[in-house]
Amino acid sequence: MKKLLLVITMVLALSIFAMAEKIEVEFWHAMGGGHGKALEEIVNLFNETHPDIEVKAIYVGNYGALSQKLLASAESGNLPVLSQAYGNWTAKLIPRGVVQELDSFIKNPDYGLTEEQWDAIWAPFKKMITWGDTVYALPFNKSTYVLYYNTDAFEAYGLRPPETVEDLFFDAMMLTEDKDGDGEIDQFGFGFRTTIDHFVVFLRANKGKIIEVKDDGSIEITINSPEAKEALQFMYDMVHTYKIAYTQGGYLDGVFGDGKIMMFIETIASKPYVERASTGKHGWAWAPVPLWKTQAPPFAGTDLIMFSTASEEQKKAAWEFMKFLISPEIQAYWSVKTGYMPAVKTALETAQWKEYVKQHPEAMVPINQIPKGTTDPNIAEWYEVRSVIGQMVGDVMNNKRTIDEGLAWAEAELHRLIFGE
């Protein structure tokens, strides 16, 4: 009789457990294409191995669409549990009280991060997720800039990948040609976009900054500097004076694959697109960003933030997913599939990463750049700052303003934007 009662009790308990609803975690992201497929695989694996949790990954659109939806949802109270976010988005949302601080999760003795797990996160990425003394995010998709180059062309012209900006200029000059003799250049040695991002690559290599955030939180506008002028002049001369660089607003993987440009600088996240554009046409590889006065390749990519509007159950479930994402094996898989850098050092010790590096030794190029990498200021106004500088670069490169006029205009606009002057 006792055994029968025990069996009935166990069956009832299992039935109740089976009927219990999963904890749902809505996760907004902007990962499309191959990156989105890799993320979907990771989410599915998490859901399979955590039967009590269901992460619903929702593709919102590009970064602009995601940013707008997050800001609008913060006002309407319709936020998800988790979202991808750039640091400046997080900085805008923190004062509204909707971003969950993560220190209480990281330091929790039962389900937090061990000292080893926290130390495994690269130091620059920790800086990007911390405001004051408080951690509000965990690193997600992280990349840095590298130099992509056409290996077939470099071999044919007897060139080596440039190590300095002087080398870059020389190689671009050697590789630029009017191949069909019609008086128009159809093969450019170098290419870059008329965006803030490509300007910042050269600006930081020349030891310049757009703004400087002091230890006390005060901001100094530093865009109108000799370093910025030199960086813009270098870009302008390559395009207009010497005509050895091609420039456009959009991404360059297509024109690189088609052989219109022989080199360009972009983040490692472009790797799958470069591979697709170049396959069957020419070989390619990447090298470190060339040295100027220093090596300071910018970091790019987003973090993962949790919202305080979620229930306590959802927050704990979301935290389990966040920890899963930064585990060594998942980070190695994510990096191999997408080209992004592993957010944790321990991913480099996994069997998958070691085997991948054996076959693709160039994968260590961005990893070796991490100690030299530079981060964007974590200020709420950074999105607007980007818009101002992006317009200035475009205006200068398209001959709408001189370099001096562009820098003076940008300086005045940033003073108005940040200080209301």
Split at pLDDT 50, 70, 90, the class of 5 is very low
Identify the CA nearest to 252 among candidates 189, 175, 193, 339. 193
pLDDT value for 137? 98
Q: In the predicted model, what is the mean pLDDT of residues 255-273? A: 94
DSSP 242: S
Exposed (0-12), middle (13-18) or buried (19+): which is 105, by Cβ within 10 Å? buried
Of all residues in the chain, what percent carry a pLDDT higher than 70?
95
Of all residues in the chain, what percent carry a pLDDT higher than 90?
88
Pairing of strands 190-193, 245-248: parallel
- 261 has pLDDT over 60: yes
pLDDT value for 387? 95
Check if 2-142+300-372 and 144-299+376-419 are the same fold: yes
- 319 has pLDDT over 80: yes
Split at pLDDT 50, 70, 90, the class of 11 is very low
Long-range CB contacts (within 8 A, 24+) of 70-76: 70/28, 74/98
- 16 has pLDDT over 60: no
The H-assigned helical ranges of 143-260 are 151-156, 165-175, 196-205, 226-236, 253-257
The H or E element that residue 16 is part of is: helix 2-19
- 286 has pLDDT over 90: yes
Split at pLDDT 50, 70, 90, the class of 133 is very high
Q: In the predicted model, what is the mean pLDDT of residues 336-345? A: 93
pLDDT value for 240? 97
Average pLDDT, the chain: 93
What is the CATH code of the structural domain delimited by 144-299+376-419? 3.40.190.10
pLDDT tens-digit profile of 42-88?
A: 999 999 999 999 999 999 999 999 999 999 999 998 999 999 999 99
Sign of CA dihedral 45, 50, 54, 59: negative
pLDDT tens-digit profile of 357-367?
A: 999 999 999 99
Q: In the predicted model, what is the mean pLDDT of residues 152-156? A: 98
What is the CATH code of the structural domain delimited by 2-142+300-372? 3.40.190.10
Q: Tell how far CA 231 is from the center of its chain.
A: 22
Please give the residue that has the higher pLDDT: either 217 or 307: 307
Split at pLDDT 50, 70, 90, the class of 339 is confident
pLDDT tens-digit profile of 393-413?
A: 999 999 999 999 999 999 999
In the chain, domain spans: 2-142+300-372, 144-299+376-419
- 17 has pLDDT over 50: no
Cα–Cα–Cα angle for 382, 388, 390, rounded to 5 degrees: 100
pLDDT tens-digit profile of 179-234?
A: 888 999 999 999 999 999 999 999 999 999 999 998 888 999 999 999 999 999 99
pLDDT value for 412? 97
The H or E element that residue 82 is part of is: strand 82-85
- 380 has pLDDT over 50: yes
Least confident of 53-57, 94-98, 215-219, 316-320: 215-219
pLDDT value for 7? 40
- Cα–Cα separations (whole angstroms), residue 281 to 244, 284, 352, 360: 22, 10, 29, 20
pLDDT value for 12? 40
